[in-house]
Every structure is written in C-alpha cells, then in structure tokens.
Amino acid sequence: MQNILVTGGAGYIGSHICIQLRDAGYLPVVFDNLSNGHRDAVAQDIPFIEADIRDSNALDRAFSDFRPSAVIHMAALIEAGVSMLEPAQFYEVNTAGSLNLFEAMRRHNCHRIVLSSTAAVYGNTHLDLLNESLPVLPENPYGRSKAMIETMLADYSATYGFNTIVLRYFNAAGADPDGRTGERHDPETHLIPLALQTAAGVRKEMKIFGCDYETPDGTCVRDYIHVDDLAEAHVKALQNITPQEESAFEIINIGTGRGYSVKEIIKLCQNITGQNFPVSIEARRPGDAANLVADPTKAKMLLNWEPKFCSAHDIIRHAWNFYKKTMP
C-alpha cells in the first residue's frame, strides 16, 4: 500500500480526499496544524501528525517515519478577503510554507506532488470559460501566493525532476453524500454554507456583495464543484502522475463548466431549505472577479475525470444534510 502525505488533510476538502484515498487503496498520512481543520474530520485509524508545514524538523520526521510515495499539498490560508488585509500571513504560510515542504521532499527524494491551486489565479478575465493556457493575473494576495507556488513547482519540476500536477479548483462546495464529513469553516465566508446558516436562523440575513457586475443578473458567477468530485480528481491525478524517475508539470482545471450567479444559488438554497430568508445588497468587495467558470476539457482528456454532480441542487442538498446533522 502506498502512503500519501496529505498536508491540510483535516480541512474541508482534505477530509473528503482522505476518505477517497482510503477507498482507492492508499494510506493517507495527514499533516495538519489544526489552525483551521478539525481532528475529528479524519478517521481515527488514519495516521495524523499535528504540525506546521513551516516546521522543517516535523516534515523530516514525517517523511522518515512514513516514506510517502507522493504528497497532496492542501495546507494553506484560504480567505481571499483576509489576504487583502494581511498579505504577509499568506506569503508566509502559503508561499514560504510550500517552499519548506518542497525542500523536505527533495531531502527525502519524494518528487511526486498534487498541488491544490485555485481559479483565483486567473483574476478578472471577462471570458465565459477559463482554460489553463490563459495568463495568470490574480486579483488578490491569496491568488498571488498560490500563483507563486505554481511557479516554484514548475521550476522544481524542470530542475529537480519533480512530477507535479497542479489542480486549479473552482468553488468547492457540498458535502460527502453519505454525510461522513462536510464544510465547517470558522469564520465561514463561503456562499452556500452562509446561506444555509441563514436558513437555519443562525444569521439574520444573507448579504450579496455587488449587483452591478457585467453578468446576466449583476451578481458574481462561479463554478461550484462538488467536493466529492474534487476529491475523486485527486485520486485520478495520483493514478496518472508520472513515475518517480521522470519529471513532469501539468496544470489542470477542476470545475464543471457551468456557472451559477450568487442570486441563483441563494434562490436554490431558499427552495431546498424551504426558508425564504432575508437578503440584502451591499457594495462590491475588493478583489472579487465577476465571472470564474472552468473549461474542464483538459481534466477529461488527461485524467479521464468528469464531475458526477453537475447540478448545484445536489451540491446544496448534500451540504444541507450535513449542516442539519452537525448544526449547533
């Protein structure tokens, strides 16, 4: 059985990836400092290392003890809005922390990596669909910190023989269809969980930031990818990654190719929960792109991956089921 080091494995997406890795016959080894993750999101029989990717000694111990054949690197700070106020934190944790991880990989001769990157690297393009050959022009320090990690890995692949697959996720959403894990960010800033919290009465109203974008109803359009489909893309990436001896570098979008506006998502949340909660319109937030929808052609071609859940209805239904099960 191959061991896979999963940084950030106690987080929202990481906990879903661990379930699918185990189902596919891998042993995930979670490396997470629990700054935003949850210990109970990871099954007790999965090895768990509570440590920080900026800690070289802890990384050395993890590589020596578990000899992973590959790394799935998700540990990061993720809030684009916070990155506008505190960019240094994002460059320190995301960019410098990743460099520290890649150096540990070199020391331990582990050259295979799947990186969590983001559609935020594309910035504001005004294009209907975004493909991987577009220039990288992120609008905020979060996106720039991720773009820097991608660039480092391109150089590590060309120079040190790394085999890299960069997965640029669009908006991860939903929950494990069997309800084993789901989204529990604190504070929460993602649209669907915020709308569900409002439906549950935990929040008074739902805020829409900007209704004067150049989109059909004036609100931002995003491509919502079911977290279960996203997790499956990682397993396929591992199965397709080049063997240890050769170097490679690929960037692949993970999205559905279908966009939903903020207003459409809120309406669906109201329908599914049966709660007609209040909604207010606020000013635009700095750093938000109008339209981020994936061209998912390359994922189908290179990974033979396609999303199973293309409708936001399923995504919201699974998220609502998990929320009802775990709500305070």
Q: Which residues bind ligand NAD (CB under 6 A)?
A: 7-8, 10-14, 32-37, 52-54, 74-76, 78, 93, 97, 116, 118, 169, 171-172, 185
| Nearer residue to ligand NAD within complex by CB, 151 or 276 | 151
Q: Label residue 201 left, alpha or beta by phi (over 0 means left) and psi (-120 to 50 means alpha).
A: left
Q: What angle do helix axes 191-199 and 262-273 make, rounded to 10 degrees?
A: 40
Q: How far is the CB of 137 from ligand NAD (least distance, A)?
A: 17
Q: How far is the CB of 314 from ligand NAD (least distance, A)?
A: 17
| Nearer residue to ligand NAD within complex by CB, 24 or 34 | 34
Q: How far is the CB of 236 from ligand NAD (least distance, A)?
A: 17
Minimal CB distance to ligand NAD: which residue?
11
142 is catalytic: yes
Neighbours of 60 (CB within 10 A): 13
SS3 147: helix
| Nearer residue to ligand NAD within complex by CB, 74 or 299 | 74
**Catalytic residue of the set 12, 26, 122, 142:** 142
Cα–Cα distance for residue pair 161/156, rounded to 1 Å = 7
> Nearest to residue 327, comparing CAs of 273, 279, 276?
273
| Nearer residue to ligand NAD within complex by CB, 247 or 310 | 310
Q: How far is the CB of 17 from ligand NAD (least distance, A)?
A: 9
> Considering Cα of 287, then 164, then 6, then 238, what sign does the dihedral take?
positive
Q: Which two tokens stand for residue 42?
A: 């990871």
By annotation, the residues acting in catalysis are 142
